Each structure stands twice: as C-alpha cells, then as structure tokens.
A and B are shown apart, each in its own frame.
Chain A
Amino acid sequence: MKKIVVTTALLAGIFAQAGGFRVSLQGVKQLAMAHTSAHAEDASVTFFNPAGMSFIPTKLSVVAGGFGAKSIVNYQNLSTLESYETNNPIGTPIYAAIAYRVLDNVSVGFNFSTPFGSTIEWPSDWAGREIVQRLELKAFYFQPMVSFKLAPWVSLGGSYIYAKGLVNWDKAATQLGGTLNLKDEKASGSGFGLGFYFRPSEKLDVSIAYRSPIDMEAEKGTVSFNISPALYPALGLDASGKDSFKATLPLVDEYTIGVTYKVTPKWLVSGDFNYSGWDRYNSLTLDFANAPIGNQPTDPTVLVSPKNFESTQTWRVGTQYQINDMIAARAGYYYDESPYSDENFQAETPSFDSNVFTAGLGFKFAKGFGVDVAGGIALPKSREVKNANTNFYGQAKAKAYYFGLGLSYNPF
C-alpha cells in the first residue's frame, strides 16, 4: 500500500518549476531527487538552506560538483513556413561548498554556485534575430554563511550573497544593416539567504528557506555595433563603433519548504514547494549613453522591453532507497512552470511548462568519501508564441537533458 501511495504522490498534484533563466542544478544528490532541499547529509545543503549545516552528521563536510546541461529549442512559423533550431553549447553549472562546525551549536560555511544562467544560440539568420542571435547570461553566487543550533531539533541559518554576473548578447540591428553586441562582464549585486531547519524526529527533516532577490547592476556595459562606420556619428558612437549602457537584471527571490520523511530506515521520500518571485521581472531597461536606439518618446537612448513575467510555483517529489551500505538509488519528478504566458514569450530566454524526471545513484566509500551521479530529462510542452510587443509569432518546443557528477568528503 505504501508503495502505491508514494508512486501516486509522484504522479498527482500540481507540479511546477523555477522557470526563466534559473537553473535547478546546485546539488547532484538533490537533482537525483528532483532537486528537493531537505537533505542535510553533506555541505551541498548549504545552497538550499544555510540552517541545514547544523544537521550535517560530521564536523567538516566538503562538496563539489558539476553538471552538463544540453538543451535544444525549436521555433517554427506556420505563416512563413520558417523553422529554426538552436545550437546551444552544453551548459556547465558548477558548485562547491564547505561546512564546518566550529562550536557544538555553531556552524560556518561557504557556498559557491551558478544558480542563474543559460546560453541560447539561434542561427544568426533566424526569424527572431532582431531579438536575439546569441545570449549568454550567468550569475555566480558567493555565499558565506553561519548556522546556529537553537535546540537539538531546530537550527537557524543565514547567508550573505555576493553575486557576480555576465551578459553577452548578440542581436541583429536590421534597420542599421548590421548587428550589435551588448556585453558586461562585471555586473554585480548582493542579497541574503535565511532559513530554519527542523528535525523533530529521526524520521523527519523539514527545511524552510528564503533567498532574497538580487538586482544585478550592469554599470559599465559596452554596446558594440557591427554596422557601416558612416552611421557612427549619427548614433553617437566612438571611432570603433561602441557606446556604453546601463541595465539591471533582476534575479528573483525564492521561498522553499522541503520535507524529507524516512518511511523505513532505508527508504526516504522528499517533497518540496518553491515559490519564485518572477513577477519582479516586468521589463528590461537598457539605458544607452548616446545611441538613440531606444523606444522612449522622452528619451530615445532608453530601450524598455516589456517582459511581464509571473511568479511561479514548483512542487517536487523525490525518493531514495539505500540498496546497501554503499549504494543509494534515487529518483524524482517535478513540474517546471514557465514564468510567462504565450503573449510574453521571450526568445532570448525560452521557457516552457516542463515535466522533469530525474534519477541517480550515490556511492559511499571509506573515510567519508562519497560520489553521486544524477541525470535528468525535461519534457517541455510545445507552446504558442504570440508576442504582440515584438510582433513575434509562431510556435516553440524544446528538449533538455542533464547530467551531474558530485563529490563529497565528510572526514570527521
């Protein structure tokens, strides 16, 4: 009966994801179980909830991992009979973390991760080239953190987040007869994380965490035009066809409640609820120093593109079965919700309602060494593209595969 309950739980309910340009790839063990959060076995919990550090079984824990993420997006237009496929490079998000219990009830840690990022590369002559040809977006999070064990069954943790990012955006400038590139490798911002971690019984872990929004400020962006030099003076460009720009890219806040229940000593089941505040991303404003390539009647150097994202909910379920002392088998499922409607489809950050299936294995070796592998397959739903703002219409579909390899070291 239990098995039926669990598998049905896997299938039922409303499932959703973080969507947008948030990548759910911050822990290999977690990914194998649908990227659920209430797993305090090692320092990989630090990204999900700083308070989780207090429940790591060893005094010191070090983890590192990396992923390969391959996605392919297809666009077609039944009106023009055009169709295009992206040639995205394999994304390689990585993470590393360390947690150390300095006092019986105080743990400190540090987490490095790449929670936001994607590289989308369309054929340079594709229908949406005015919107994007290639866009590389990345954010690196550096999080020092501390956690206090308030009681044997509860801890409180907090982190400071320093985020560094880069944007590298190629697109066509059809009316100028060329292309342009927007680049800033020094965007930065800061925020914080906060969480409670509960272990009311040996069978139950509960993780409640909040991660603040972060405004990535690109202060010294460079826009480079690949157009006829005869146009430079009219656009206010320098002799090499460049101008500067400022922009702010919002990275969204996230609320997470995660639960892990040990059904038997060998078998655990996890569930997560995430809420991601994508509604912050109303519009993207690019403020150029001189180039009058904007769309504001009062200031032609300001380009405002409506984004109209909506906040998303994600429900995740995962499970782990300890086959023997050495090997654990894991599986999970989540439903990833796109943060925008068909009317607000963004070709530079294509997003879909997706069913994501994950699985993985964990190996424990002597002296506290552990190796985790995980894989995932996303089955996004095809969707209509009806963006009236850019007059971009058609249909889009996608495929995505993930692979992860993680190492953990819990020596003492």
Chain B
Amino acid sequence: MKKILISSIAVCALLFTVSCNTDFEKDVNDVVVSAGSANFTKYVALGNSLTSGYRDNALYIDGQKQSYPNMIAQQMMLAGGGTFKQPLMPNNTGGFSNLPGFPGKFILSVVNGALSPGPTAAGAPLDNISGAGPYQNMGVPGAKSFHLGAAGYGNAAGLPIGAANPYFVRFASTANASVIGDAVAQAPTFFSLWIGNNDVLSYATSGGIGTDQKGNTNPATYGPNDITDPGVLASVITSYVGALTANGAKGVIANIPNITTIPFFTRVPAKPIAGLSDTQVAQLNAAYAQYNGGLGQAKAGGLITDAEYQQRLIKFTAGIANGAVIKDKDLTNLGPQLPSYRQTTAKDLLLLTASSVLQAGGGTSTQLDDQFVLTEKETAKVMAATTAYNAAIKSIADSKNLAFVDANKKMNELAGASGIQFDGVKYTATFVTGGTFSLDGVHLTGRGYALIANEFMKMINEKYNSTLPMVNVNSFSGVTFP
C-alpha cells in the first residue's frame, strides 16, 4: 500500500510539473502597455503628405484613417494616450473640384485588358473645417520643411499665388497661422516630426526641372520644384523641435528616404524602347544620321569632348531594349541646329508619368522632355541633398535627445531583393504588386504606412522604455483591385 502511495505521489508530481509548462509564461491578456518615460496624453503629428495619410495621389477618408500617426495614436491610447483627431476630408475620393491640379484619387481599372491606374474627378470643392479643430494630425500634403513655419500657409487668399496650401487652408486656426504655431498651441506632450521629403522630392518628380538651391538660404526665392538648401532645412527643423520641446515634450523624428528606389522612378525601365522591327530601326537611325553627323563635326571642332560625343550618339538596335531619346539640358548647348539629345542609359531614371508618353511612341522620333527623366546628374543632386538632410536630422535628434527613425534604412530594406516579410506576406517596393506603394508610386498603402508606424513605435519604445504594441501590417489595406 505504501508503495502504491509513493508511486501515486510521484505520478501526481509529474502531472503537476507537466501541466505547469503547458501555459504561456506570459499571457497577452496580462500585458500592461506602458508609456515609459514618455507622456502620450496629447500626441501631435507634424509632417507632409506621408504624415497625412495621402495615397493614390489624393487625400481621402479611408487613407487618412490608415495614416501612420493614427496607427501610432491608437496604440498610445493603450498607454494613456488621448483622442487623436484628424482633419478628415469630406469624402473618399479626395481632390478639390474648385482648384486646378487637385483631381480625385487614382483607381485601378482594366484598360485594353490590363490593369492601369488613372485619376478620378475631384470629390468636392475645398472645404473649411477649422471650426472643429484643433487637429492632432497636422500632416500637410506638399509641405516642404520651411513651409511648416510659414505664417499664412493656410490663408485661402494665398492660394492663387502659391503662397498657401489648400490642405492647411482647410484646418488652419486663422488666416495668418503657421503649422508649427497651431501645433505648439495645442501644448503637445509628445510629437512626431517627419519633414523634408518634398525638399528633394518635388525636384525629382518634376524630372529635375527646378534648381538646386544649395547655398541659397532664402527659401522665399525658391521655385516649387527646387532643392532646398540643407542649411535651411537644418535651421527650420531645429527651430520646430525647439518650439515643440520648449515645455518638456518628448518626441520622435524621422529622416528622408532615398527617393530613387520608389516605384515612381523604378516602374518604367531606364531603357524602355524594345521590340522595334528592323524597318523601324532603320528608319530611326536614318532620321538621326544627320544629328550624329553634326555631333562628329562638333567634336572635330573641339566644341564637345569625345566622351560627350559618345554619350550623345543616337543608335537603335533591333532585338534589344534601347534607351529613349531625351532632351538633356545638362549637355553642351550646340545651338538650335544640334539640340541637346541623347539616349537614356541604365543610370537615368524614367518617371512613372513617362509611361503614357512612351506608349504613344515617345522617346524615339519624338524626344522625351526634361520633365519625364531624372538624369544621372540630377539624381546625384537629389542624393547629395538627401545625405546632407539626413546628417542634419540625425544631429538634431541626438542633440535634442529625441527618438530617431531611420526611415531611409527601412525603405532601402523594402526596396532590397528580399523585401520585408510580415506574418508570411512578402512586401517589396515594386509598383502595385509589392503591396506597399499606392497607385501614385510615391506614397504608401495602409500596409506600407503600417511598416512605418511600427518603425516609429519601435524607436519610441527604445528611447522612452514604453511598450507600445506593434500593429499587424497585413490588417491594413493595400492596393484596391477593381
């Protein structure tokens, strides 16, 4: 009997040990989300289109709901965060019907048997919702670094002369308000700031038709497609951060992704002229024979180097992908008889906007205009500015002891061969099929913004010892198929 008792006790002991490690060490239901040393009571997000939730070439309600600041704010609510109000558009189409150049969102539709993105009509005229403010998502599509501090950036009267931005006009507290002023007036306890993308992006998406303003410290003299001087960017961001942290607020700041990996610049191949017949090749080469001959004379006359001569020779070959003929303003001006033509190489970036022109036969006997190509030289200017901006942003983050998001690194990872996987879904930077870029090829989808939101929260948690949970990237929307 005693022996049986001993054995039974042994069995019970085994059962006990066994049942102990059947459970989770820590159950999610017991997790308490902490703000750490941060205070999420009043979170205000500042930035441009990326911050606003802009996608598919428009700002619209469903996109705004999946902005990365809104995702972050929802998680902050688990750790004492307050309400997060966004200046929602009046509809799910976006655009402003009473302003030129603000169409509704792009949608995919079947054109000639293939899926193709195209614009829709704007959903409504410009509205004004400042009365229901203030708003915690202060992302303003199109804003450059120095715009956030510009008084009157939300003044409707400034719209016709380009001094105001309709997206800020909608919710600016007064006609003379600045974005940063309205943000500071809310006395945020926590802020995010992701600005500076447009300071190079508008130059790049315009095909480099603007000017690199490096050395010019007066942004009032800049055109809309110019590259901002890195010193200007550094000084305005320093002043914003100073104003936002004046009363002890904590925050997070992100750098500028390398724009040359986004689908807007990678979708169209650098050598897009393929599938030419022998006859077409012969015709094209004959048509450019005179131009090539002229180049030979220019070289003989010492007007251009041999390198430029070689670069400018136009030659089409059957059976391979040829470069498109472009007008390149950086070539030596040889007068109206010998225009500045050359064929694109693997180092040029053809813009997404060039695809319809190419489909119509552009790039062969008709040359592509400057606005459709970011040439190698122009790309170098973009890269140099980005590098300078990112050095400045990092040093501001360090000196103000802010959480720092290396958005550039994350987007490069996305553009890499293996992309970024989340719960079995592989995301890449490929247009439409990659899942992260919306139909404009520049802005992200909900899933793309979720990747960004997680990167922000990871860095916030690291800096402030908070425990904001990550969002499930796959749960947000991607590209909508018809």
Are B482 and A80 in contact, CB atoms less than 8 angstroms apart?
Answer: no
Name which of B4-12, B164-172, B403-411 contacts chain A: B4-12
Residue A83 is within 8 A (CB to CB) of chain B in the complex: yes
Cβ of B424 under 8 Å from chain A = yes
Contacts of B470 in A (CB 8 A): 79-80
Stretch at the interface among A43-51, A122-130, A265-273: A122-130
For residue B22, CB closer than 8 A to chain A, the reply is yes
CB contacts under 8 Å to B, within A51-110, are: 74, 76-83
Whether B7 and A79, one on each chain, are in contact in the complex, defined by CB atoms closer than 8 angstroms, is: no
Taking CB atoms, residues of chain B closer than 8 Å to A231 are 115, 481
Tell me, yes or no, whether B282 is within 8 Å of chain A by CB: no
CB 8 Å contact bits of A370-407 with B (1 = contact, 0 = none): 00000000011110000000111001010100000000
Chain B residue nearest to A81 (CB atoms) is B469
The chain B residue with its CB closest to the CB of A171 is: B424
A397 and B425 CA atoms in complex are apart in Å by: 23
Instruction: Assess the A391–B31 pair: CB atoms within 8 A.
Output: no
Residue of A whose beta carbon sits closest to that of B458? A79
The answer to whether B423 and A392 have CB atoms under 8 Å apart is yes
Nearest A residue to B422, CB-CB: A391
Within residues 113 to 159 of chain A, which ones have a CB less than 8 A from any CB in chain B?
A: 125, 127-131
Q: How close is B113's CB to chain A, nearest CB, in angstroms?
A: 6
Residues of chain B lying within 8 A (CB to CB) of residue A355: 14, 18
Q: How many A-B residue pairs lie within 8 Å, measured between CB atoms?
A: 113
Shortest distance from the beta carbon of A237 to any chain B beta carbon, whole Å: 13
Q: Which of A4, A8, A177, A397 contacts B481 (CB 8 A)?
A: A177
A406 vs B60: C-alpha distance when bound (angstroms):
64
A83 touching B28, Cβ below 8 Å: yes
Which chain A residue lies CB-closest to B424?
Answer: A130
List chain B residues, Cβ under 8 A from A391: 421-424
Supposing A3-B3, A7-B11, A79-B469 touch, asked if A380 and B481 sit within 8 A by C-beta, the answer is no
B433 close to chain A: CB less than 8 A: yes
Contact in complex: A76, B28 (CB < 8 Å): yes
By the criterion CB–CB under 8 Å, are A234 and B478 in contact?
no
Q: Which of these, B7, B421, B425, B426, contacts A4 with CB under 8 Å? A: B7
A7 to B7, CA, bound (A): 6
- Select from chain B the residue with minimum beta-carbon distance to A393: B423
Q: Do A177 and B478 touch (CB < 8 A)?
A: yes
B436 to chain A, nearest CB (A): 10
Number of interface residues of A (CB under 8 A): 46
Known contacts A11-B14, A79-B469, A177-B480; A130 and B425 CB within 8 A of each other: yes
CB distance B425 to A174 under 8 Å?
yes
| Identity of the chain B residue whose Cβ is nearest the Cβ of A382 in the assembled complex | B24
Q: A80-B472, A177-B481, A379-B22 are in contact. Are A3 and B113 (CB under 8 A)?
A: no
Q: Say yes or no for A366: interface residue by CB 8 A criterion.
A: no
- Asked whether, in the complex, the Cβ of B10 is within 8 Å of the Cβ of A11, the reply is yes
Kindly report which residue of chain A lies nearest to residue B474, judged by CB atoms.
Answer: A174
Check A239 for interface membership: any CB of B closer than 8 A.
Answer: no
- In angstroms, Cα B250 to Cα A66, docked, is 64
Q: Is A227 an interface residue (CB 8 A)?
A: yes
- Contact at A127–B472, with CB atoms within 8 Å? yes
Query: Closest chain B residue to A175 by CB distance?
Result: B435
Which residues of B102-117 are within 8 A (CB) of A?
108, 110, 113-115
| A201: Cβ under 8 A from any B Cβ | no
A233 within 8 Å of B (CB atoms): yes
A129 in contact with B474 (CB, 8 Å):
yes
A8 & B10 in contact (Cβ 8 Å cutoff):
yes
- Cβ-based interface call for B356 (8 A): no
Q: Which of chain B's residues have a CB closer than 8 A to the CB of A234?
A: 114-115
Interface string of B453-470 (1 = CB under 8 A from A): 000000000000000011
Asked if A10 CB lies within 8 Å of chain B CBs, one says: yes
Contact A175 B433, beta carbon cutoff 8 Å:
yes
Closest to B6 in A: A4
Partner of A175, one of B3, B6, B478: B478
B51 to chain A, nearest CB (A): 23
Residues of chain B from 1 to 36 with CB closer than 8 A to chain A in the complex: 3-4, 6-7, 10-11, 14-15, 18-19, 21-29, 31, 33
Distance (whole angstroms) from the CB of A391 to the closest CB of chain B: 4
Q: Flag if A7 contacts B481 (CB, 8 Å).
A: no
- Binary per-residue interface labels of chain B (416-432) against chain A in the complex, 1 for a CB within 8 Å, 0 otherwise: 00000111111000000
Residues of chain A lying within 8 A (CB to CB) of residue B18: 355, 379
Selected contact of A382 from candidates B21, B28, B425, B482, CB within 8 Å? B21
Please give me the 9 A-B residue pairs with the lowest Cβ-Cβ distance, nearest first.
A7-B7, A130-B424, A391-B421, A228-B481, A390-B424, A81-B469, A355-B18, A174-B425, A76-B28
Sample 5 A-B pairs with CB under 8 A, ordered by A number. Answer: A80-B469, A82-B28, A231-B481, A355-B14, A381-B21
Residues of B near any A CB (own CB < 8 A)? 3-4, 6-7, 10-11, 14-15, 18-19, 21-29, 31, 33, 108, 110, 113-115, 421-426, 433, 435, 469-472, 474-475, 478-482
Interface residues of A (CB under 8 A from B): 1, 3-4, 7-8, 10-11, 74, 76-83, 125, 127-131, 172, 174-177, 227-228, 230-231, 233-234, 295, 355, 357, 379-382, 390-392, 395, 397, 399
15 further A-B contacts with Cβ under 8 Å, apart from A11-B14, A130-B423, A391-B423, are A1-B3, A3-B7, A7-B10, A7-B11, A79-B469, A80-B470, A81-B31, A129-B423, A174-B474, A177-B481, A230-B482, A295-B426, A355-B18, A391-B421, A395-B24
